Amino acid sequence: MTTDSNKRGGPYKSRSGKVCGVCAGLAEHFGISPFWLRIGVVILFLSTGIWPTLILYFVAAMIMKPKPSQPLKSNDEANFYDAYVKSPNYTIHQIHAKFMNLDRRIQRIEDAVTARGYDWERRFNA
């Protein structure tokens, strides 16, 4: 059974698949049994030869993103997950930069609030 969050990001590699999770992920995305999809892949494997199917399977395994460990609830979560899967280091760097910016802003606020002049200003304006 497919959910809206599954269709939003396209087919994902299943975390519970047998080999790379490609067949299980595609079966889940299209709402069919993984067993029948695997049978179809084996038939394709036997009819076209080893290499075309094997290359196609591993290209699909490299292109498909792993399924999120939790369902994606919004487009913002889906966009963040897509960005993280494409470039985890860059995404972590972006998060770190945002936290450092917030830390600087909080530090400036703390400096202003704990400054000696702030206390006098507050007492006179109260």
1 and 28 both lie in a single domain: yes
- What is the residue range of 121's domain? 87-126
pLDDT in the model for residue 2: 39
CA atoms within 13 A on the CB side of 9: 27
3 and 40 both lie in a single domain: yes
102 and 65 both lie in a single domain: no
Does residue 80 sit within a domain?
no
Please tell me the total count of domains within the chain. 2
Mean pLDDT, the chain, whole residue set: 81
Does residue 77 sit within a domain?
no
pTM over 0.85: no
User: Which structure tokens are listed for 25?
Assistant: 């992920």
pLDDT in the model for residue 102: 95
Give mean pLDDT, residues 67-86: 79
Does residue 82 sit within a domain?
no
pLDDT band at residue 5 using 50, 70 and 90 as cut-offs: very low
pLDDT in the model for residue 103: 94
Does residue 19 sit within a domain?
yes
Q: CB of 14 within 8 A of CB of 67?
A: yes
Block residue for tokens 């498909």: 64
Spell out the alpha helix ranges (H) of the chain: 4-8, 22-30, 34-48, 50-63, 75-86, 88-114, 116-125
Does residue 76 sit within a domain?
no
Which is more confident, 109 or 126?
A: 109
